[in-house]
C-alpha cells in the first residue's frame, strides 16, 4: 500500500484523514472499513472502524499489524466496488487527488532520528574540514534527534530561516516504525518497519557548523523544517530496498543522484542499535542520512529564495518543496 495523510475541507472545517493511493485517487481507509463492516452486518460499524482503522496515521500505526491488515481488507473491498461507493450515511470514500491536500504521511511523529549512514557523505564532509572519517563512525550507527514539531509535507512551502545564508537540502530515505519493540535483533528488524518515505533534512549550514563547533547540535541549524512525503510505502511494495535510486533536482536541474544500496549502516542495524535498552514506538521516523553527493554542501552550492527542490525516490514518488523568503 501507499499510505497518505490527506486533508479534506468540509462546511465545518478541515480534517486530516488516512488514505491509500489507488490509481489517480485516494481511498479513505477508515470510511472504507466502516462501509465494509456495515455491509457485513456489523451493528456498530463506525465505532469498530474507529478502533481498528483510526483516521489518524499515528493512531493507525499504533494499531500495528492488526490495523495494517484491516486496512488492506478495506482497500481490497473498495477496489472491487464502483468508485462511487459511499459510507453507510453517504460519506465520501474515494477522493480525486486534485480534490484534497496531501500532508506529511506522518504529520506528528513521536520522535525523529536522523542518521549519517552513507560512507561517501561523511567522507566528503570530513574532507572539507581537512579531517578523516572519525574511526568511531565505524563502530555503530550515529544520529541526532530532530524536531518532530516542524515536519512539513509535499504541498507545504519552506519559509527561509532568516538567520542563514547557506540553506541546503539533504536527499534521504526514511523508514517509519510500525511496532513497539525493545532489544530488537537486526535479523528481525524488518518486522518493525511500517514503511518508507522520502525525507528532506533541510539544513542551515552556517548555523549548523557554528553550533557543532561547541560539541553540541545540530539544533537551530536543523530544527526549522524537515520534509516528509508524499506517501508511506509499505515494505511489500519495494522488493529490494537496495535497488532504489535517489535523485534531487533544483528548479528542474539534477543536482544529485545516488543509490540506497551504497549505504553502510542498514535500517536493520539502526533499529538494532537504537532499541538496545530503549523502547521504540510506532510512528517514530528514522532518516537514513544523506546519500553520497546528496546535498549542496558537497558541491559548495546552496539554495536561494524561490527555488523548488524536488527529491525523487521510486516507487515512493516525488517530494517537492518551494523555498519562500518573507519580508519580515
The per-residue pLDDT for range 262-311, each reduced to its tens digit, is 999 999 999 999 999 999 999 999 999 999 999 999 999 999 999 999 99
All structural domains of the chain, each given as residue ranges with its CATH number in brackets, are 2-103 (2.30.30.230), 112-324 (3.90.850.10)
Quote the pLDDT of residue 209. 87
Report the chain's C-alpha Rg in angstroms: 20
The per-residue pLDDT for range 176-196, each reduced to its tens digit, is 999 999 999 999 999 999 999
> How many helices and strands (H and E) does the chain possess?
7, 21
Q: Which three cell numbers stand for residue 92?
A: 465520501
- Pairing label, strands 181-182, 226-233: unpaired
The per-residue pLDDT for range 112-153, each reduced to its tens digit, is 999 999 999 999 999 988 899 999 999 999 999 999 999 999
Q: In angstroms, what CA-CA distances link 64 with 75, 151, 275, 283?
A: 17, 22, 17, 10
Contact status, residue 297 vs residue 212, Cβ threshold 8 Å: no
- Please state, in angstroms and rounded to a whole number, the distance separating the CA atoms of residues 95 and 20: 10
Q: Which three cell numbers stand for residue 294?
A: 546528496
Please indicate whether residue 209 or residue 62 has the higher confidence score (pLDDT): 62
Task: Provide the mean pLDDT of the chain.
Answer: 96
Contact status, residue 126 vs residue 134, Cβ threshold 8 Å: yes
Quote the pLDDT of residue 69. 98
- The DSSP line for 39-82 is HTT-S-HHHHHHHHS-SSHHHHHHTHHHHHHHHHHHHHHHHTS-
Helices 29-39 and 64-79 meet at what angle, rounded to 10?
70
Task: Judge whether residue 19 has pLDDT over 80.
Answer: yes
First and final C-alpha spacing in the chain: 42
Amino acid at each position: 500500500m501507499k499510505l497518505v495523510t490527506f486533508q479534506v475541507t468540509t462546511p465545518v472545517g478541515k480534517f486530516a484523514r488516512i488514505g491509500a493511493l489507488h490509481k489517480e485517487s485516494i481511498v479513505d481507509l477508515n470510511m472504507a472499513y466502516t462501509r465494509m463492516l456495515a455491509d457485513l452486518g456489523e451493528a456498530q460499524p463506525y465505532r469498530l472502524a474507529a478502533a481498528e482503522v483510526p483516521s489518524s496515521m499515528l493512531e493507525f500505526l499504533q494499531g500495528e499489524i492488526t490495523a495494517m491488515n484491516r486496512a488492506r481488507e478495506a482497500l481490497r473491498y473498495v477496489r472491487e466496488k464502483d468508485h462511487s461507493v459511499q459510507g453507510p450515511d453517504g460519506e465520501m470514500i474515494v477522493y480525486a487527488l486534485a480534490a484534497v491536500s496531501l500532508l506529511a504521511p506522518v504529520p506528528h511523529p513521536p520522535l525523529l532520528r536522523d542518521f549519517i549512514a552513507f560512507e561517501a557523505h561523511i567522507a566528503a564532509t570530513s574532507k572539507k574540514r581537512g579531517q578523516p572519517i572519525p574511526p568511531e563512525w565505524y563502530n555503530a550507527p550515529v544520529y541526532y534527534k530532530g524536531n518532530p514539531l516542524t515536519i512539513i509535507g509535499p504541498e507545504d512551502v519552506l519559509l527561509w530561516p532568516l538567520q542563514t545564508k547557506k540553506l541546503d537540502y539533504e536527499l534521504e530515505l526514511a523508514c517509519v516504525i510500525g511496532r513497539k519493540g525493545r532489544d530488537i535483533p537486526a535479523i528481525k528488524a524488518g518486522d518493525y518497519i511500517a514503511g518508507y518515505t522520502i525525507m528532506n533534512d533541510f539544513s542551515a549550514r552556517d548555523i549548523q557548523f557554528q553550533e557543532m563547533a561547541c560539541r553540541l547540535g545540530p539544533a537551530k541549524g536543523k530544527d526549522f523544517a524537515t520534509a516528509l512525503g508524499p506517501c508511506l510505502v509499505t515494505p511489500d511494495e519495494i522488493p529490494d530496498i537496495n535497488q532504489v535510486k535517489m535523485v534531487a533536482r533544483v528548479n528542474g536541474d539534477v543536482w544529485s543522484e545516488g543509490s540506497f544500496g551504497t549505504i553502510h549502516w542498514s535500517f536493520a542495524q539502526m533499529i538494532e542499535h537504537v532499541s538496545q535498552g530503549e523502547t521504540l514506538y510506532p510512528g517514530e521516523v528514522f532518516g537514513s542520512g544523506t546519500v553520497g553527493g546528496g546535498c549542496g554542501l558537497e558541491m559548495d552550492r546552496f539554495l536561494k529564495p524561490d527555488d523548488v527542490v524536488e527529491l525523487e525516490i521510486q516507487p515512493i514518488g516525488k517530494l517537492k518543496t518551494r523555498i519562500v523568503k518573507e519580508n519580515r
